[in-house]
Structure 1
Amino acid sequence: MNAQVYESIKFDINKVVESASKVIAPYGPIHTFAARNPWDGLENQSFEKTARFLKDLSNINIMPSDSMIHTARNQGEINLNFLGEILGQWLHGQSLDIPQDVQERYCWSLLLQEKKPSKALNRTEWKTLSKRLSNWLPQIASNHSVRAYSQVLEKLGDSRIADELDRHMIKWCKLFLDESQAVWSMPLREEGFYQAWRKLVPKDPALNRSIRKKLKGLPKEADQALVQALEILEVPNSDIKGYLEAHLLALPGWAGMMLWHSQKAKNHKSLLMQYLAVRITMECILIKPSLPLPNEENEALLETLLVSWADWGDMPLNEWSQISFTEQKARLTLAYRFDEIVQHKIWLEAWEKTYETNLKEKVITNQEGQNNEADTIAQLAFCLDVRSEPFRNELEKAGAFETFGTAGFFGLPMETCKLGSNHSHNSLPVMNQPKLKVKETLPESELNPYLRRKQAAGLSNSTFQVMKHNLLSSLMLPEISGPWLTLQTLARSFLPRRTGYALQRLREKGLSKPETEFTLDHEHHSGDELPIGFTDEEKVYYVRTALETMGLTERFAPLVVICGHGSHSINNPYASSLDCGACGGASSGFNARVLATLCNLPMVRQNLRKDGISIPEDTVFAAAEHITSLDEIRWLYVPELSNHAKKAFDQIQTILPKVSEKANAKRIPKLPSIDSHSTPRDEAMRRSEDWSEVRPEWGLARNAAFIIGKRELTKGTNLEGRVFLQNYNWEKDSRGDILTNIIKGPATVCQWINLQYYASTVAPDYYGSGNKTTQTVTAGIGVMQGNSSDLLTGLPWQSVMWSDTEIYHEPLRLLVVIQAPKEYIKRLLDQTPEFQQKVQNGWIRLASIDPDGNWESWS
């Protein structure tokens, strides 16, 4: 590689790194766990092409496995008629010069695999034939992905360099990204990852002296080091982007965390560049003695295709000489194209089509009687989360209540700061940025006593941590803390429900938190800080947008409840993953309180009347939180109620225990290893308080569809807790703005949730996080398996699997169903090219229901 070529790369290396970073997703710390689509940057290409790329480069299969497909088929979840239709469509697009019946017989045999492949084959004869036909190989086989040189050696059977490279990168990433979990932090972190590594690595005792010597005198800047390493390795100019992609996909968790930091902090913008500079420089040093590498060839490919025809096409060796060269090439092409990825894709599409058909029958034939809207005494807006749907059904059956589904952050682009906390949290989808900050406050006369109580309550824990990290005091710590911790361990282990309840009451009584307020009024700010509070115009705008999005702009009931949602569990690193996925891994109760408070402001209501939204004077907005692990409602904000609102509130209070009981009775039996002697309510409470419980709830497992339409479509229908529900009335959206915002916001969040569960199911070792019981929380930011694995960014085994061999979550791509006229759907696709691209490339499925009730599939 000549120096002139690399001189031009120096000016573009940042762009190349940015382009390569599309193969990974940015991942934040686990304590703010939020749903991410691991393939968000690859949606400009098809789902199948991405599957092929990952399979070829990293041997990662993102299609459902044979065992998953076999189980689904046996359980009647895949209609074979749909399988035949999809296979026929695929064959029609191949245009191969082979009789149709021969093609179908071969493909059906491979799909069903109802006979066993022959093992008594003359391998010598097959090798001879494959060599004779080898001139066809370049015409039917596509190019392989670019691999890092250490990965090439690994593919050839020598994984020592790849393993050592990963081990060192994991070590340095842990040190650099640590969030105060380590007692001694990494020196020079403030100078950046590459600079700290460059100055410290010559002293690393884990490297031998000769390697440490080679690592002295490295370029001072990361981009220079990266370019130099690529030049030494002689990576072709056309392969540089692919080479960087291969290195990013080697440890997508740690690389994803570096990417997340580079997007969040201005002083870390080049962090991913630094990561690649360190990794490829290390590879260059480690692999240089092994260069040049042997050529990577796949000599067995043709033989494999020939044997496939013998096994599944009933075509013995001697028949190959009886057909023309054209048909020989066509048959080899068919065998090459109809590979495992295509077969599993056809099965997946048939599985998805079967689910869509079943959902269609439920929705279209729904004849559930509706409550008279004039008799509705309370309206409750829930998050569109799939866990809300069963609870909403039980609530509507219990009385004259109307429920709505909408995004759990309620359209408020806030950064929130709870009372007594020095830290803020983005309380909105991770794809968006906050525009303002809202703080929870108290008058100073009440705030200071509360902070003293809170400090006193946390004193024992802070003292424990100080003693634990001090050399001398840590020696005495077991004797000091032993009796109390032993007692707590026994109580937590044998009486988890009662212990948890007692400790909660003790904390609440000790803290005695007063009624708080919010900084809702706009405050001037300077610099780069977010403004605090809302301007008057913003208050009206966000309330109007929230009400329009949830479809509540008329016929207001006396009581309107904004229900956020969260979960409750103990000793669970993934606790935030069970909270509101739209709120960046946090409970959405804060957002619910803010919106309800804004809706009660006289100024806001007065201005809403000008826009045609008239809220009656006796209508009161309250806020609550749906605790999904307990299926109960907790009140967060109940202002002074009008007489009619008070009557509605009392009625809700009366029926909530029964609603909770019925919801738990349907949900709890779906969890494995339940205590059959306990009531569903007691079992739910035990799971939420038991620190040995690996499954406090199923979370959003089995999510499969997102319905955007009137509540009448699904009211009273058992959707099995698998559907996100967003209220939408196309008749009030003539310009399509509301639908567009739903697709850009809630639909995208739901797709990310869906693909996160999908990825954690089909590729648990790569995109999941393994078994909870063997995880190690590391650096305060995430989990690993053992002490030297990738940073695991997906969901644990317990979130998607029923048992070691049986999945619970069905890996289906999200089906978006929109109730609107056909022209609305066409306009939506024209106005949202990103969504249209997702549909066309198979990342999401689309269907619509027109005003006459006709269902149409768009994908």
Structure 2
Amino acid sequence: MTISAPHRHVPHPSVSDKTISTFNLDAAIDHISHWLPTQGPIKDFIHHNTLHSVQQHPFHEGVALAARIFGARSYLPLADYQKRYRQGRIADAAIDWAIDQSAAYIEDIEKFRDSLFIEDYRSHYPPVSLANQGIRNTWLTQLEVDLNALTHPVLFRLLANFLDQGISRWTLSQDGERFWDCLWRLVHNSLLSLHPFHEPTVRTLLLEKPERVILTCLDRIVGDEQLYEQYLLEMLLAHPGWSGMVRLVELNPSALLARRNISLKELIAVELACELAFLYLKKGHRFANIAQTPKAKAAPLLNDPHFKPKVPLRLKVWHEAMEWTLHSELLAALASEPPAGATKAATLAQALFCIDDRECSLRRHLEELNPAIETFGAAGFFGIDFLYQGIDDAFPVAQCPVIIQPKHLVRESRLSVTQDKRKGGGELQHLHVKGHSLFRGWLYTQTLGIGYAIRLAWNVFRPGGRLPDIKKLSEVAAHTHLHLLRESDTPTEDGRMLGFSLGEMADRIEGLLRNIGLIKDFAPLVVVVAHGSTSVNNPHFAAYDCGACSGKPGAPNARAFAWMANHEKVRALLRERGIDIPETTRFIAAMHNTTRDEMTYFDEHLFEQQPASGLQAFKDTMQRALERNALERCRWFELAPQSQNPKAAHAHVKGRSVSIFEPRPEYNHSNNLYCIVGKRALSRDLFMDRRAFLHSYDPGNDDQGLILARILNAIIPVCGGINLEYLFSRIDNSVYGAGTKLPHNVIGLLGVANGVEGDLRTGLPNQMIEVHEPARLLIVIEQTREIIDKALGQIGSLREWLDNDWVRFGCLEPGSHAVYFYRAQGWDRVGFEDSAPTPSAPDSEAAFSGQTHTVPIHKLVTERSPS
């Protein structure tokens, strides 16, 4: 039978008008969606606070509440903290400090301190939770029906095919079709019945609209409207990856390049209809609903006033002690007077890096090799926010933090006409065979398939030194042209401007230069260093790129900044604003490949008539710094060469990136811990083991805190989001993380799942966080408390991160080097009279050589000379 009109209303006797009028479904969906993950498609992997849903609570209370909802651990096992104490990585003074923070909840402090050292292998177990022991669990424990095992394979196949972004040759959805209409078509117009929706009662029910289907199913499955909302939440938390993805696509359809029309309400309706169909098939039409089971009300209820989190006090104190041990290392090092250095040599070059913690070590090595090179740090989009469309890109992508809505579009073109004559889809033509007929596909499989299988086997055992063509999709070609200067004020169909006006360019260059304090004393060469990452065995590649560029390589931003800063008319506008860039100063863009430790330099053809002075010398020094950086990274890799040979280490990290069986191309942000906002002199002589985000800032040029407020608006969500995603993925990788990479398959270019039918995994895989020390980020600002308070008054809702201790916040007052620790109630002075002195080392290699764990902060005391 063919039915031509969808959603024909058929009254259903099982739902009364009273039920419809008393339960507000839309409000319930809005409420429960607050608990769903907000991780977008894998192409736009943006680090964020995994527990954003409880960020309005103080950190420890929020973590405990999340544990009760999701069934996750809140802290490391007690034995892990005790082991760190025995190794000297948690100090007695830090334990005393942590106990003092929780003294109001401790009756006998001495007895409590002794209890910290009692062995306990169960205290870190997850508590009873909605996700695992809620009312929906009644189906498994009381009624002996595993609804997840029955419904998820059906639901996940439908979602994966409907939302598919290019893996499947044929798409399930028709043009403009909604998910609910798609299901209706499959159920009522298919020649073969769609199991289990062929069940007669459910098949008839699907003629209704989604809301009516939901209420009918809830009435039959749950039976008590007071339990409806909780049942829906527990159902969605059984597959949070798909639930969160659907909600994100519903609220932001542009998250998908191939748009799909779907809503969380439609997903709920489909899943409930699937559950009801299976229950009818398994139990008949007279099955008892949840409200009729004796133990339904005994399960934890979300709206129960007694449903309050219990913070495990011993684990909280141990965790605070671990963090304070690590945080106080930096504060003590910053509080001590910096060593008297030699007379500063003339600056030969300046390098502007992203604040990314992976650039912390590269900057240190570069300055060690040549102190005449001065480095700066800023958010990696370099203040140039735009949508970018490369030569082979079908759609433009945002090159700025997610909190910014870009209003400009920048397109890329080739330099010569001959380059444009290449036929096909550029790099994309390597990814698909043009013919898709049945016979042609069989022929390719039987002929070319054998050759590719042999090549795959060869690459597994003998990976080559050349990256495959997929590399081109994550890097920007070095010899192309960006259309940056606006030629017309007519906006695009989307209301965006093509390029920037000269005034807009000057605004952005001025903004960044003032933010980092570089408004005079320009070197002859200024290198703007973006960063990106390339590897072949890494579906989470976007998580390795620049977080300030929405998970993209920052090369377009670096190129845009250099081009704007070199433009004579832009410089003339800057000169009127008090920033005089000498005619002899040239800006050049580059990109650091953080996996391979390689540097690509862009647009060098522009300097044929006006050469960039000192560029070759800078390149030579940078190459040596990259090799040393690779050596420092190799101490974390078990298969890395044991010799202290920078060239061998460099060859090893390049080999890792092209190895198809290497799940750890790099450890990315592992062990990120600090963020320092101030002059480079504060941290230049510190070895911080690649743990610090470094943002340049001159406190003397910001008497109202306006610059600092702009910086905080960028670093709190970006650096704080990176830190917390690593922290929670490390604390409980099975719930907050993605588990091991080994069984992951990419599903529809949306995310990864275990096998081919699992839920989309959110968070970070184990291979990215296994060496990470899960401690909250400490942000230290070089500025007076009064000006910092002014800045905090301008950051709006971001202050919640600080007031609720989701990141820790400190102040180093210029001149006095007095250290203060921020609390919502005010500032606390931190003293280090009884602290051990910061250890020292003659150079970076002496600090990390032979170490396979994080190294405490060291002072680098040897006077360096230019090479």
TM-score range, shorter-chain basis? 0.7 to 0.9
Distance 1:226 1:409 in 2: 45
Q: Residue 328 of structure 1 corresponds to which residue in structure 2?
A: none
Give the equivalent residue in structure 1 for 2:822.
858
2:178: which partner in 1? 192
Report deviation, 1:838. Answer: 1.8
- Cα drift, residue 374 of structure 1: 6.6
In the TM superposition, what are the counterparts of 1:520-669 in structure 2 within 5 Å?
520-523=485-488, 524-638=490-604, 646-669=612-635
Q: 2:395 matched to which residue of 1?
A: 423
Pick one of 50, 62, 78 that aligns with 1:50: 62
By how many angstroms is 1:442 displaced?
Answer: 3.5
Query: 1:251-302 CA deviation, whole Å, 9 max, x = no partner?
Result: 12111211221232278686223223333444455568241232257799xx
Q: One-letter code of the match for 2:267?
A: Y
Q: 1:560 to 1:155 in 2, by over 3 A?
A: farther
Secondary structure in 2 aligned to 1:563? strand
Match of 2:116 in 1: 111
Whether the 8 Å contact between 2:478 and 2:600 is mirrored in structure 1 is: no
- Pick one of 253, 260, 279 that aligns with 2:241: 253
Counterpart amino acid of residue 856 in structure 1: Y
Distance change >3 Å, CA 495–CA 520, structure 1 → 2: farther
Is the counterpart of residue 225 in structure 1 residue 213 in structure 2? yes
Task: Quickly say closer, same or farther: Cα 1:195–1:490, change in 2 above 3 A.
Answer: closer
Partner Cα distance (1:622, 1:209) in 2: 61
Task: Note if 1:277 corresponds to 2:261.
Answer: no
Matching of residue 401 in structure 1 with residue 373 in structure 2: yes
Matches within 5 A, 1:203-222: 207-208=195-196, 211=199, 213-218=201-206, 220-222=208-210
Q: Are residues 427 and 526 of structure 1, via their aligned partners in 2, closer, same or farther at CA, if it must alter by over 3 Å?
A: closer
Moved more, 431-440 or 349-358: 431-440
Q: 1:624–1:637: 8 Å Cα contact kept in structure 2?
A: no
1:180 matches 2:166: yes
* Superposition deviation, residue 208 in structure 1: 4.6
Please tell me whether residue 841 in structure 1 is matched to residue 804 in structure 2.
yes
Q: Name the counterpart of 2:46.
A: 34
**1:309 corresponding residue in structure 2:** none
Q: What is the percent sequence identity of the aligned residues?
A: 24
**C-alpha contact (below 8 Å) 1:377/1:558 kept by paired residues:** yes
CA offsets 1:462-511 (integer angstroms, 9 cap, x no match): 32xx45x54323333244224642553355234424354xx789999xx9
1:263 aligns with 2:251: yes
1:152-191 equivalences in 2 (<5 Å): 152-154=138-140, 158=144, 160-188=146-174, 190-191=176-177
Residue 473 of structure 1 corresponds to 440
Q: Assess, with a 3 A threshold, how the Cα gap between structure 1 residues 285 and 475 changes in structure 2: closer, same or farther.
A: closer
Once structures 1 and 2 are overlaid, which stretch shifts more, 757-766 or 273-282? 273-282
The alpha-carbon deviation at position 237 of structure 1 amounts to 6.1
CA-CA distance at 1:352 after TM superposition = 0.9
CA contact (8 A) 1:706 1:816 kept: yes
Residue 240 of structure 1, CA deviation: 5.3
Partner residue, 2:76: 64
Aligned partners of 2:186 and 2:194 also within 8 Å: no
1:20 aligns with 2:32: yes
Indicate the larger mover: 435-444 or 686-695: 435-444
Aligned to 2:848: none
Residue identity in the other structure for 2:803: Q
> What is the Cα-based RMSD across aligned positions, in Å?
3.6
Post-superposition offset of 1:148? 6.1
1-structure distance, mates of 2:478, 2:799: 49
Which stretch of structure 1 is more off in the superposition, 347-356 or 512-521? 512-521
Q: Does the CA-based 8 Å contact 1:381-1:550 persist in structure 2? A: no
**What displacement does 1:19 show?**
3.2
The secondary structure found in structure 2 opposite 1:475 is helix
Cα distance in 2 for partners of 1:212, 1:763 equals 43
Contact kept, 8 Å, 2:347 with 2:373, in 1: the verdict is: yes
Name the structure with the higher helix share.
1
Seen in structure 2, the aligned counterparts of structure 1 residues 676 and 407 have a Cα distance that, compared at 3 Å, is same
2:775 corresponds to which residue? Answer: 812
Q: Deviations over 1:645-703 (max 9, x none)?
A: 74421221222222122111111122222244781011111111212111111111111
**1:555 partner amino acid:** D
Q: Deviations over 1:388-434 (max 9, x none)?
A: 00000111122201101110111222111112432222111223322
Structure 2 CA distance, aligned partners of 1:778 and 1:366? 54
User: Residues 565 and 589 of structure 1 are in contact (CA less than 8 Å); yes or no, is this contact kept in structure 2?
Assistant: yes
Partners of 1:618 and 1:642 within 8 A in 2: no
User: What is the CA–CA distance in structure 2 between the aligned matches of 1:240 and 1:44, rounded to whole Å?
Assistant: 25
Matched residues in 2 for 1:834 and 1:595: separation? 30
SS in 1 for 2:204: coil
Give, in whole Å, the separation in 2 of the partners of 1:382 and 1:390: 11
Residues in 1 aligned to 2:649 and 2:452: alpha-carbon distance in whole angstroms: 30
Conserved in 2, the CA contact under 8 Å of 1:770 and 1:797?
yes
Query: Which residue in the other structure is 1:129 paired with?
Result: none
Q: Note if 1:673 corresponds to 2:639.
A: yes
Tell me the alpha carbon deviations over residues 369-388 of structure 1, each in whole angstroms, 9 at most, x when there is no partner: 55766711111110000000
- Paired letter, 2:711: I
Give the match's secondary structure for 1:783: strand
Q: Is the 8 Å Cα contact of residues 68 and 128 (structure 2) preserved in structure 1? A: no
Alignment of 1:477-492 (within 5 A): 477-482=444-449, 484-486=451-453, 488-489=455-456, 491-492=458-459
Q: Partner of 2:295 in structure 1?
A: 295
Whole-angstrom distance in 2 between the partners of 1:505 and 1:221: 44
> Which of 668, 688, 691 is the aligned partner of 2:657?
688
The CA distance in 1 between the partners of 2:414 and 2:742, in whole Å, is 42
Comparing 475-484 and 548-557, the one that deviates more: 475-484
* CA–CA distance in structure 1, aligned partners of residues 494 and 612 of structure 2: 44
Residue pair 1:522, 1:531 contacting (<8 A) in 2 also: no
Residue 320 of structure 1 corresponds to none
Task: Say yes or no: does 1:727 pair with 2:687.
Answer: no
Q: Distance in 2 between matches of 1:651 and 1:840?
A: 47
Q: Scaled by the length of structure 1, what TM-score is found?
A: 0.83
Deviations 1:573-632 (A, max 9, x none): 122221112212211011100111011111111111222111111111110011111223
Query: Aligned AA for 2:677?
Result: I
- Name the CA distance, whole Å, in 1 between partners of 2:731 and 2:72: 9
> 1:391·1:631 contact (CA, 8 Å) conserved in 2?
no
Q: Matches of 2:121 and 2:61 in 1, distance apart?
A: 29
Structure 2 vs 1, CA of residues 81 and 219 (structure 1 numbering), >3 Å: closer, same or farther?
A: farther
Change in CA separation of 1:515 and 1:839 when aligned onto 2, cut-off 3 Å: closer
Cα distance change of structure 1 residues 50 and 778 upon mapping to structure 2, 3 Å threshold:
same
Listed one character per residue, the Cα deviations across residues 740-788 of structure 1 (whole Å, up to 9, x for unaligned) are 1221222211111111111221121122222222211122221111122
Q: Where in structure 1 are there 5+ consecutive unaligned residues?
A: 95-99, 118-140, 301-332, 802-807
1:774, 1:786 within 8 Å by CA — same for their partners in 2?
Answer: yes
The residue aligned with 2:725 is: 756
Greater mean alpha carbon deviation, residues 390-399 or residues 282-291: 282-291
